[in-house]
Amino acid sequence: MGLPYSTIQRMFAGTVVATLLTWFFQDSYTDAAYVFIALMALVGIVWTLSEREMTFHHMGLNASGILTLLSFIGSIALFAEVSIRVWDFPTTGSYLLSLFFVGSFWWTGALIQPRNN
C-alpha cells in the first residue's frame, strides 16, 4: 500500500514552489536547478519506497532491509548537500537537520504501514 497519487502530486507541486522561491531569493538559475533535481529525486525515492513491494518485485530485488537503509542514508545525504551548497548551511547543522527532517518522514511512513499497526 503506497502513498495516494494526490499526495505525490502535492509533493511535486511543493517541489515547484520551493524551486521558484529558491530562484527568486537566490537569483540563480543554477541553484534553482539543483533544488529542483534534488527534490524531484527525493520525491522519486519516497514514491518508490512507498510502493516498495511492487518496485522490488519488478526490479528483482529481495534484500529490502539493506536497500531501505541505503535509501534512507542516501536521501539524508542528498537533502543535506542541497542545504549546504544552495543555502550555505553549516555542514554539521545541515546533516542534523536532514536526519531529523527526512527521518520524520521515514518514521511516519513506517508507522502508517498496515503490517506495523
The reported pLDDT for the residue numbered 111 is: 67
The reported pLDDT for the residue numbered 76 is: 87
For residue range 88-105, what is the model confidence (pLDDT) as tens digits?
A: 888 888 888 888 888 887
Secondary structure (H, E, C), the chain: CCCCHHHHHHHHHHHHHHHHHHHHHHCCHHHHHHHHHHHHHHHHHHHHHHCHHHHHHHHCCCCHHHHHHHHHHHHHHHHHHHHHHHHCCCHHHHHHHHHHHHHHHHHHHHHHCHHHC
Query: Domain containing 16: what range?
Result: 5-116
The reported pLDDT for the residue numbered 5 is: 82
The reported pLDDT for the residue numbered 36 is: 92
Q: Which pTM value belongs to this model? A: 0.55
Which residue numbers in the chain have pLDDT < 50? 116-117
Our count of domains for the chain comes to 1
